[in-house]
């Protein structure tokens, strides 16, 4: 301080050291960076949760696609291989043994009235074999209407 006063041009100058203010600015910057990191971490967690949710949905859709049956194709082929079927209905049915839930394809057929029960049984056996090939080991039930 004495040295400053020894210079004539600096005799009226005043030296102020703002070290505390500088430390406060650094502290604010650090706090700001910590808040940014925290916000980014929360955003990253949210995005990871969203990705997991979307992956689960994709898995469900893939499972549904795998179990999808082209009813139009089944009808077209069935008309050719079994002219005795008068009506066909199809539904995916949920079944449960209370431990797990599964779906099963249910086909219900109405047969030509000219067929006797032996012929119907024979046709049903033939169509069961054909459906097992068409459905690629997917579980199904064949019922009479």
Q: Full-prediction pTM beyond 0.85?
A: no
Question: For 65-69, 71-75, 114-118, 134-138, which range has the lowest pLDDT when averaged over its residues?
Answer: 65-69
Assess contact for 74 and 90: CB atoms under 8 A: yes
Q: Which residue has the higher pLDDT, 125 or 62?
A: 125
Domain end call among 66, 83, 103: 66
Q: Do 79 and 134 have their domain in common?
A: yes
Q: Do 8 and 56 have their domain in common?
A: yes
Q: Given this model, what pLDDT does residue 18 score?
A: 66
For 26-58, the pLDDT digits (tens) are: 888 888 899 999 999 999 999 999 999 999 999
Number of domains in the chain: 2
**Which range marks the domain in which residue 52 is found?**
1-66
24 has pLDDT over 80: no
Contacts of 90 (CB under 8 A, 6+ apart): 69, 71, 74, 105, 106, 107, 108
Burial (Cβ within 10 Å: 0-12, 13-18, ≥19) of residue 142: middle
For 94-109, the pLDDT digits (tens) are: 999 999 988 899 999 9
């Amino acid at each position: 301080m004495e040295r400053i006063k020894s210079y004539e041009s600096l005799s009226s100058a005043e030296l102020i050291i703002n070290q505390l203010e500088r430390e406060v600015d650094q502290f604010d910057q650090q706090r700001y960076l910590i808040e940014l990191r925290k916000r980014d971490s929360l955003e990253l967690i949210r995005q990871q949760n969203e990705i997991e949710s979307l992956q689960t949905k994709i898995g469900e859709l893939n499972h549904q696609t795998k179990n999808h049956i082209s009813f139009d194709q089944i009808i077209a082929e069935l008309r050719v291989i079994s002219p005795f079927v008068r009506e066909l209905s199809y539904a995916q049915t949920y079944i449960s043994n209370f431990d797990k839930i599964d779906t099963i394809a249910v086909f219900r057929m109405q047969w030509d009235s000219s067929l006797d029960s032996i012929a119907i049984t024979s046709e049903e056996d033939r169509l069961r074999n054909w459906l097992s090939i068409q459905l690629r080991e997917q579980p199904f039930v064949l019922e009479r209407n």
